[in-house]
Amino acid sequence: MPIFNMDFETMPREALEAIQLRRLQTTLERVYATVPFYKESFKKAGVKPSDIKSLADLKRIPFTVKKDLRDNYPYGMFAVPMENVVRIHASSGTTGLPTVVGYTQRDIKTWSELMARSLAAGGATSNDIVHNAYGYGLFTGGLGVHYGAERLGASVIPVSGGNTKRQIVIMRDFKPTVLTGTPSYILHLAEVAEEMGISFKDLNFKCGIFGAEPWSEDMRSDLEEKLNLKAMDIYGLSEIMGPGVSIECREAQKGLHIFEDHFIAEIIDPETQEPLPYGETGELVFTSITKEAFPIIRYRTRDITSLNPEPCVCGRTHVRMNKVSGRTDDMLIIRGVNVFPSQIESVLMKNKSIQPHYQLVVDRVDNLDTLTVKVELGQDMFSDEIKILQEMEKKISMDIKEYLGVSAKIKLVEPKAIERSQGKAIRVIDNRKS
């Protein structure tokens, strides 16, 4: 597929790192001068922007964490006057104050460029029609994709989430060729289409770009089979920019290309907080080096992944991150065993008799942690006799025990029993916290 920005996306490593260092130094000087939090943070660490002479020196800079953003709610982390901020987005704030981010006009232009790169990497061109099922509003997904598709020159259908049956009709009548949204909501679209007697095989989609929640390789297979398209993973978070920080390319689907001319990525050990070398799995840390309104330095994303510096068959030279396997704050510790929802998903998706809709319920009984996995049966299996279902529950439980080393009670439920979301799926209910 064509590369949207050949000059930067295929740049030799040495030239790319020179640009990174120059932009990093400029950004550090600016946040030190304009953001009181960073000035105080640097001083406490005994470091000044002028001390950063190489990319290796970045590790001398303190981390930024979500609590820092909430402590400076709403605009304390902004590096420009509000008169220069043309857009404000925010997280949902379901576990506390929302994190608020701002964009200047130049930031919006940069974001649009990076989303255009992302869509192009995923297989979109100016000739395509993009059915954008990401939510519009304070969530960055909808508008991020929208502006990127327009920058690419594609046509955009801004349907957002919800009105699911109407979306299916639009897919049939408007003939979009690229589908974007959260994988859990896209699977719900496929489910409703089947109920309406409309097959994705009769629609015009060639590729789908899905993100905003971790999803496994087994989920990819399910998406591609049900939707009759090629499914790409896209990564982003509002604190860094929104969607478009990295994406898989259509050619390889093997790691997500990070746009390193705008972001510096690190992997750290979440316990020791020390940097880890390429190939080792740890927590992903990002520094933005071109943002004006809301630059962020060494932000701990809590996402678990690893980095691969090898050039890709597609021609892009930027480092790739592996699919996120989970988040440190989503990791469940069940009787001393670390469990990520995506690991459970990988086991479940190997059973073709169940649907890709599940929920993990954690309780504490007699001071011991218990894990119950609720998972939906396929329509054709729900009427089977109790003995067959009990055997299936036992088999899934044994598979989870063998793969993850944790005991789980499996509860097979009828189709549609697990609540559908128009955005990110709610995968975990941890009653130990209530």
Phi, psi (rounded to 5 degrees) for 359: -150, 140
**Distance, C-alpha 135 to centroid of its chain:** 14
Asked if residue 342 and residue 290 are part of one domain, the reply reads: no
Residues 230 and 359 in one domain: no
Domain range enclosing 150 = 1-329
pLDDT per position as a tens digit, 26-61: 999 999 999 999 999 999 999 999 999 999 999 999
Beta strands across the sheet bearing 282-288: 263-268, 282-288, 299-305, 326-327
Number of domains in the chain: 2
The reply to whether 79 and 198 lie within a common domain is yes
pLDDT reading at 393 higher than 80: yes
116 and 239 in a single domain? The answer is yes
Q: Specify which residues 274 forms β-bridges with.
A: none
156-178 confidence digits (pLDDT tens): 999 998 899 999 999 999 999 99
**Are 163 and 257 members of one domain?**
yes
Residue 427 and residue 196: Cα distance in Å, rounded?
A: 27
Q: Are 133 and 231 in a shared domain? A: yes
Cβ(384)–Cβ(411) below 8 Å: no
Say whether both 135 and 282 belong to one domain: yes
Q: Please tell me the distance from the alpha carbon of residue 375 to that of residue 354, in angstroms, as a whole number.
A: 7
392, 353 Cβ separation under 8 angstroms = yes
CA distance 74 to 117: 30
What residue type is assigned to position 183 of the chain?
P
Whether residue 52 contacts residue 61, with contact meaning beta carbons closer than 8 Å, is answered with yes
Contact criterion met (CB below 8 Å) for 309 and 321 = no
Q: What's the pLDDT at 52?
A: 98
* Residue type, position 295, single letter: P
CA nearest 61: which of 45, 40, 77?
A: 45
Amino acid sitting at position 179: L
Q: 119: helix, coil or strand?
A: helix
Q: 135: closest CA among 154, 163, 109? A: 163
In percent, the amount of the chain with pLDDT more than 90 equals: 74
Q: What is the CATH number of the domain that holds 337?
A: 3.30.300.30
Domain co-membership, 303 together with 378: no
Rounded Cα–Cα distance for residues 25 and 291 (Å): 13
**Over the stretch 96-133, which tens digit does the pLDDT of each residue have?**
688 999 999 999 999 999 999 999 999 999 999 999 99
Domain CATH for 79: 3.40.50.12780
Separation of alpha carbons 362 and 160, rounded Å: 32
Last residue of a domain, one of 304, 329, 354: 329
434, pLDDT greater than 60: no
pLDDT tens by residue, 230-280: 999 999 999 999 999 999 999 999 999 999 999 999 999 999 999 999 999
Same domain, 283 and 338: no
Quick one: 365 and 290 in the same domain? no
- Give 186-235 pLDDT, tens digit per residue: 988 999 999 999 999 999 999 999 998 888 898 899 999 999 999 999 99
Query: Within a 13 Å sphere around the CA of 257, how many CA atoms are in the beta-carbon half?
Result: 29
Select from 298, 329, 360 the last residue of a domain: 329
Q: Quick one: CA dihedral 300, 305, 306, 309, positive or negative? A: negative
- Beta sheet of 242-248, edge-to-edge order: 155-157, 129-132, 178-181, 207-211, 230-237, 242-248, 256-258, 320-321, 307-308
Q: Which of 314, 329, 344 is the last residue of a domain?
A: 329
Does 74 share its domain with 216?
yes
For 321-371, what is each residue's pLDDT tens digit?
999 988 887 778 787 777 888 888 888 988 888 888 899 999 988 777 889
Q: How confident is the model at residue 1 (pLDDT cuts 50, 70, 90)?
A: low
Q: Which residue has the higher pLDDT, 12 or 356?
A: 12
Quickly state the pLDDT bin for 93 (edges 50, 70, 90): low
pLDDT bin (cut points 50, 70, 90) of residue 422 is: confident
Mean pLDDT score of the chain: 93
For residues 354 and 414, the answer to whether their CB atoms sit within 8 Å is no
**pLDDT confidence of residue 383:** 60
Looking at the structure, do residues 367 and 395 belong to the same domain, yes or no? yes
